[in-house]
Amino acid sequence: MPASYANKLAALLALVALCASCAVNLSEARPARVLRGGEIQLAQINNIVVPTSAIADSASSAKSLYSSLKTQQTPSGADARSYASRATAIALAGPGYATHIDLGIGLGYQFDTSLRFGNGIYAASLRRGVDFGPWAASLGVRAGYNSGQSVISYLDDANGYIDLADTTRFDGQLFAQLGRDFGEWGRLWFGAKGMYSAYALRVGAPQLGVATEEVRDHLLLLGGNIGIALGFRHVFAVGELTILHAAGTLRAFGQSRDLGGVTIAPSWGIMGQF
């Protein structure tokens, strides 16, 4: 393998390890008070997912492959299987960026719903709320489907070396929020969340001599968030921080990978209420 080619490939693999992700959507990024009947809320939200354990695994994987490529050697079978299993774990629980649109509709009787879509994610939620003067509380459920698309092309083809196909996730969430309004200019909320995420995909590394396998399993995430919206009357800038603990194990290519650890997910965007 020519040195220039090895250097180029190493750079691409490092980019994969640091940026690739199945764009899991963990944010709420909306006030705790449910929408009144006929009220509309439209938001564009950006999400970054930073799983602390996956970052270490990503760095280890990139370092191992870089060492092989720098010496112009083809990774051994064991190294190739290790990288393929690491890459699959990174795709399922690794660092990533996603953006989505959230359309909320007030249903009346202290209920509202929201429809969410973006980066291959489609989700719908239903909330029931209670008002306490300037304070409000809500309890909700969300069901989501993730087709595996991402703003990073990794999920379809990791630079030609790790092939992931037919990636799907089904997510179920239960969440609770407490927050308050500050006149027409501010919103503050706190929340707790539990999420069950079942996934299925086919993955292989034919150019590294690793045959395709089908992987099915699930992840559990528990934690909470805090958010704020600042603006005036109808338009607000939104910021939120979600911290969750993940639990789950991936079994692929004869190896087990722990998908657990702390996940930090900041979100930001713009929201309109009408």
Contacts of residue 149, Cβ cutoff 8 Å, sequence gap at least 6:
23, 119, 120, 155, 156
pLDDT of residue 225: 96
pLDDT of residue 94: 65
Global pTM reads 0.80
Two tokens, residue 171: 């997510």
User: Residue 129: which CATH number?
Assistant: 2.40.160.20
Q: pLDDT tens per residue, the chain (274 residues)?
A: 444 444 444 444 444 443 444 456 788 999 999 999 999 999 999 988 887 766 666 566 656 655 655 665 666 667 777 777 777 776 666 677 788 999 999 999 999 999 999 877 899 999 999 999 899 999 999 999 987 654 344 444 444 566 666 778 899 999 999 999 999 999 999 999 999 988 887 777 777 677 777 888 888 999 999 999 999 989 999 999 999 998 888 777 777 777 788 889 999 999 999 9
Q: CA 151 to CA 19: how far, in whole Å?
A: 10
- Can you give the residue range of the structural domain that contains 88? 3-273
Looking at the chain, how many residues does it have? 274
**CA terminus-to-terminus distance, the chain:** 60
pLDDT of residue 71: 60
Cα→Cα distances 82→4, 134, 199, 222, Å: 24, 54, 20, 28
pLDDT of residue 158: 43
Q: In total, how many domains does the chain have?
A: 1
